Structure 1
Amino acid sequence: MKKYILSILIISLLASCSDYQTLEKNPNLPTSVPSSIILRDVLSKMNDGAWNTMMRNNQFYCSNYNYYDNNEYNWGNASLQFTTLKNVVKMEEEAKNSGAKELNPYSALGKFLRAYYYTNMTLRVGDLPVKDALQGLTIDKPKYDTQKEVFVQILKWLEDSNNDLAQLITTGDRTLDGDIYYGNDLRKWQKSVNSLRLRVLIHLSKRTDDTDLKVKADFANVLGNPTKYPLMSDLSESLQYVWSTNNKYPRNPDNLGNNATRENMAKTYIDLLKNFKDPRLFVVAEPAEAQLAKGLKATDFDAYVGASSGEDLADMSSKAGLGQYSFQSRKRYYSSYTGENTFVISYPEMCFNIAEAINQGWATGNAQDWYEKGVKASMSFYGIADATAYLAQTSVKYAGNNATGLTQILNQKYLAFFQNSGYEAYYNWRRTGVPTFLVGPGTANGTKIPLRYLYPSSESSTNLENLTTSIARQFGGSDNINASMWLIK
């Protein structure tokens, strides 16, 4: 009898545990998230925006009102995107949990997203954990891989992503949802994958002698095999963020009173446009009121004046108040909530990257043709249909595969980066010195443009030993914003 009662009690306890486990589950809280929702979030974070600190550091515009901001380069700790990368891993897991095969659109894009975010992060700081990263509780103090190893892995991800997408397009599952850029079109994604690869290889231009990376051969291989490595064919295939009334363009009717006259155009950018008699100037900027008062017209290039990013902020503010500097075009940038699309990876950039590679002898082809395609595409973005006369000018006409021609390519790429592509304009300056960035008391940091960000403070508190080893290896033990990383030495 006692044994019977004990058995009943055990069964009851087990049932209670089972009931408790069932009751413990909150039906109002999801236990999983569809991969499409995660993809949408991860893709949206690729957009670095416009009219922000990045664009001031690119020397496209200046702040003349220190209540809101300044033009200093006193950089601190980088904001890295490991949380976003963890979401990429989760996206891939959820796709498989919902029945997807090992090879599926989410896994193919996952490799591209790893490459994209790791590229952005390593360009900011240098070495990063890769092999030990994103392991959850398995490895909570990941070792740092060298920047070279990071780029080797980035290029492998891009190769694998291209191959996976090609297989899915031909014979596999094309089911994708949550794509805010290409409407779930894998063919367009494949072109972006390969366009990013060209960007990465261009970033490695100082490492063309590295026998492991094989930068020149890799670039030539991609460019010479359009069937295997399709590339963007026109401006419409750019990876670009489209703003909406729910997610407003950074400059819009709501902040006209706050920003319009408290930001003026930067001399680095404006002077290039003026020197080339570039019609884009009339689209993006307003003439300086003081120049109009002298009798100049809005159609005169000399009516537009940019301020040096290195100018003392108080002086800049005073001059802006006197109408001596050009403001951003209020008609273009404050008339609506949707503004202009913001490129993440653009067709013009791809054209200039190809032109640069051919100019440098990495690949065969017509550098002038790619250079002109890039210029025309950028002009088209601003509604300028005919660039024939512009390209015929002595200062703009391609000078050939020489140093002058290279500078022309780099200057035009800089102009095409205006208010898009995050820090790409700065990275290209850091790599080449083109165009000349202006410095002075307003830029601070001892009138130097920094070469990197510091590692996040969270790494010092959670992974100090590995971080210290990496900093010693790279920079002689000092986490310094003016130190040169492996990529640019």
Structure 2
Amino acid sequence: MKKVFKLFLLLPLWGLGGCQDFEVIEKDPNRAVNAPASLVFNGVLNDMYNNVNGGSAWGDKARWNQFYCSNYNYYSTNEYTWTTTDFSFFTLKNVIKMEEEAKRAGLPDQNPYSALGKFFRAYFYEDMTKRVGDVPLNDALKGLEMTTPKYDSQKAVYVQILKWLDASNDDLTALIAKGDRNLAGDIYLGNDLRKWQKVVNAFKLRVLVSLSKQDSDGELQVKQRFAEMLSNATKFPVMTGMADNLQYIFNNINKYPRNPSNFGFNATRENMAKTYVDLLVARRDPRIFAVAEPAEAKLKAGLKATDFEAYVGASSGEDLADMSTKALNGEYSFQKRSRYYANDVGEALFIVGYPEMCFNLAEGINRGWATGDAAEWYRRGIAASMSHYGITEATALNTYLDGTLVKYAGNNATGLNQILTQKYIAFFQNSGLEAFYNNRRTGIPTFLVGVGTGNSSRIPKRWQYPNSERTTNADNYKAAITAQFAGKDDTNDVMWILK
């Protein structure tokens, strides 16, 4: 009886285990498989900041924009020795998950998360394609169904980006009209769909202007789309001031990259760059007093802190050892330490900013894409940028606007140069690599090169594809670089958007 009793106990246990579904057993009960759409949305928003920042404010991107230089080799150099970049498919998977969770929670097909999901697709795909060229799109994000996605041409990607942006704008119009308030988790715009719609359209203007070399393409319809936006403000509302900026606000936890705790590490190991400083000095631009300190050697020579000639930047192409010596000798201006090391909050980091939008509108009008007042948008962009530094006094602003190098020369090549120069100045320490991308597209302003910038004194045009593409998607990767760059994956090759 004893043995029979033991067998009786074992049989039910064996039978119970054999009936369980393996998919149930393999799930980790301690890991969540669902999350509120608002939580996933919040994560995507933080990825936007990390994408733009990545050291953008006083980091690698700001050096590549030639706003400042490193004079201390231990931390960094000023070289453009780029190799591979990353793709944003992890974030895009979260965008899909955000949309799925919104539907799972009972929201209709047209909801704030799906509307903004289209914008996020456009935003992250635009970032990827302008880094490398062709990227996987139609076959991408299909999981195990498609593990080796083919690449879509850069033109096809931009066609889709513009479709997403128009669809996002249309969805937001409908949601706003019916008073939809189902958005939560917004760290940027307080869940305000009206502000998000303005951001979508400001970003669309960025995309259109970035396509200036392809403005005659019949499928992209750059000129027509730009003109439509200007002629129909009701359908395409845009930003009206700095309060509409898509921007990251730092705090005592997520600290501004320059703050009291790292003062000793880099306050004097970084100095201002000549490319940026010389533009301000030549234009008698008061922003120089807000962002930089006078060079000590100039003060010792008798100049005052209020003299523009007291501000000196180093060429990004200068030999790093020479730059370090000169910086120690007080020959170069440092960042204004009383501004950038005063506290942990610092200043807002623009992701998509109102000043840039103004200059994009001015540029398109200058190029003849639409009728409008380029001079007015140009002035608005300058005034908005000035206000970011607390420069709002009307007389000082008007004096600056009437300056020889600043007063708008009209819708001609000189006027376009002025617009692009002021856009570059307004990009100082914000908007990621937009200053670089605008220079790459237009050559304005002239970036300085030399032994300090490496790459045989050339500014590269792109990044190489992620290493993962070589190992997990080799055939499609090879086909893409063959179609674009004669089989090379070189940082100096010219992608379609620049031809």
TM-score (normalizing by structure 2): 0.94
8 A Cα contact 1:64 1:313, kept in partner: yes
1:174 to 178, 181, 191: 181
Cα deviation for residue 36 of structure 1 reads 1.0
Partner residue of 2:40? 38
Q: In the superposition, relative to structure 1, how do residues 146 and 20 fare at CA in structure 2: closer, same or farther (>3 Å)?
A: closer
Closer/same/farther in 2, CA of residues 25 and 293 from structure 1, 3 Å limit: same
Question: What's 2:405 paired with?
Answer: 395
- What is the aligned partner in structure 2 of residue 318 from structure 1? 325
Correspondent of 2:312 among 284, 292, 305: 305
1:139 to 134, 146, 155: 146
Is it true that 1:478 corresponds to 2:488 in the alignment?
yes
Q: How far apart, CA to CA, are the structure 2 residues paired with 1:376 and 1:65?
A: 35
TM-score by length of 1: 0.96
Distance, in Å, in 2 between the alignment partners of 1:302 and 1:232 is 36
* 36-45 vs 405-414, greater mean Cα deviation: 36-45
Cα distance change, pair 21–425 in 1 and its aligned pair in 2 (3 A): closer
Against the structure 1 CA distance between its residues 29 and 293, is the aligned structure 2 distance closer, same or farther, given a 3 Å change threshold?
same
Distance 1:333 1:11, change over 3 A: closer
Q: Residues 221 and 19 from structure 1, CA distance in 2 versus in 1: closer, same or farther, beyond 3 angstroms?
A: closer
Q: Note the alpha carbon deviations across 1:5-35, whole angstroms, 9 max, x for none.
A: x9xx799935874599888765543221111
For the residue of structure 2 that corresponds to 1:306, the secondary structure is coil
* Equivalent runs, 1:55-204 vs 2, <5 Å: 55-171=62-178, 173-204=180-211
Secondary structure of the 1:264 match is strand
Deviations 1:124-165 (A, max 9, x none): 000001100111111000000000000000000000000011
User: Which of 265, 288, 291 is 1:284 aligned to?
Assistant: 291
Contact 1:273 1:281 in 2 (8 A): yes
Structure 1 match to 2:430: 420
Letter in 1 for 2:429: Q
CA contact (8 A) 1:104 1:174 kept: no
Q: Is the 8 A contact 1:244 1:337 kept in 2?
A: yes
Match of 1:3 in 2: none
Tell me which amino acid in the other structure corresponds to 2:37: S
After TM superposition, give the deviation of residue 258 of structure 1 in Å. 0.4
- After superposition, the Cα gap between the structure-2 partners of 1:334 and 1:227, relative to the gap in structure 1 and judged at 3 Å, is same
Letter of the 1:407 partner, please give it: N
Alignment CA distance shift 1:377-1:25 (3 Å): same
Moved more, 57-66 or 386-395: 386-395
Quick one: which of 450, 458, 462 aligns to 1:448? 458
User: Aligned residue for 2:473?
Assistant: 463
What's the secondary structure of 1:326's corresponding residue?
coil
Deviations 1:25-48 (A, max 9, x none): 655432211111111111112122
Task: Find the counterpart in structure 1 of residue 357 from structure 2.
Answer: 350
> Post-superposition shift, 1:94?
1.1
Letter aligned with residue 129 of structure 2: T
Q: Deviations over 1:57-95 (max 9, x none)?
A: 000000000000000011100122111111111111111
User: Is 2:338 the partner of 1:331?
Assistant: yes
2:247 is equivalent to residue 240 of structure 1:
yes
> For the structure 1 residues 172 and 236, does the alpha-carbon distance in structure 2 shift closer, same or farther, using more than 3 Å as the test?
closer
Structure 1: unaligned runs, 5 residues or longer? 1-5
Amino acid paired to 2:145: T
Q: Say how many residue pairs are matched.
A: 484
2:421 paired with 1:411:
yes
Distance in 1 separating the partners of 2:228 and 2:321: 52
Aligned-residue offset at 1:195 = 0.5
Q: What SS does structure 1 have at the residue aligned with 2:48?
A: coil
Tell whether the 8 Å contact from 1:129 to 1:142 is kept in structure 2 after alignment. yes
Q: What corresponds to 1:260 in structure 2?
A: 267
Q: Letter of the aligned partner of 1:485 in structure 2?
A: M
How far apart in 2 are the matches of 1:172 and 1:332?
Answer: 42
- In 2: Cα distance, 1:325 partner to 1:421 partner: 25
1:210 correspondence with 2:208: no
Report the counterpart of residue 235 of structure 2 in structure 1.
228
- State the distance in 2 between where 1:485 and 1:21 align: 46
Tell me, in whole angstroms, the C-alpha distance in 2 between the residues paired with 1:154 and 1:38: 22
Q: Secondary structure at the match of 1:45?
A: helix
Hey, what's the Cα distance between the residues in 2 that align with 1:433 and 1:441?
Answer: 20
Bigger Cα displacement from structure 2, 43-52 vs 426-435: 43-52
Residue in 1 aligned with 2:441? 431
Q: Which residue of 2 aligns with 1:29?
A: 31
For 1:425, the aligned partner's letter is: A
- CA distance in 2: counterparts of 1:307 and 1:15, whole angstroms: 72
Partner of 2:388: 381
CA distance in 1, matches of 2:236, 2:431: 22
Q: Secondary structure at the match of 2:351?
A: strand
Matched letter for residue 39 of structure 1: F
1:230 & 1:101 partners in 2: Cα distance? 25
Instruction: State the alpha-carbon separation in 2 of the partners of residues 338 and 110 from structure 1.
Output: 29
Q: What CA deviation, in whole Å up to 9, does each residue of 1:272-303 have, x standing for no partner?
A: 00011000000000000000000100000000
Cα deviation 1:96-117 (Å, max 9, x = unaligned): 1111111111110000001001
* Aligned mates of 1:168, 1:62 — CA distance in 2: 46
CA distance in 1, matches of 2:497, 2:392: 38
Which of the numbers 271, 277, 294 marks the counterpart of 1:270?
A: 277
Q: Which amino acid in structure 1 is aligned with residue 207 of structure 2?
A: V
Distance (Å, rounded) in 2 between the aligned partners of 1:21 and 1:109 = 33
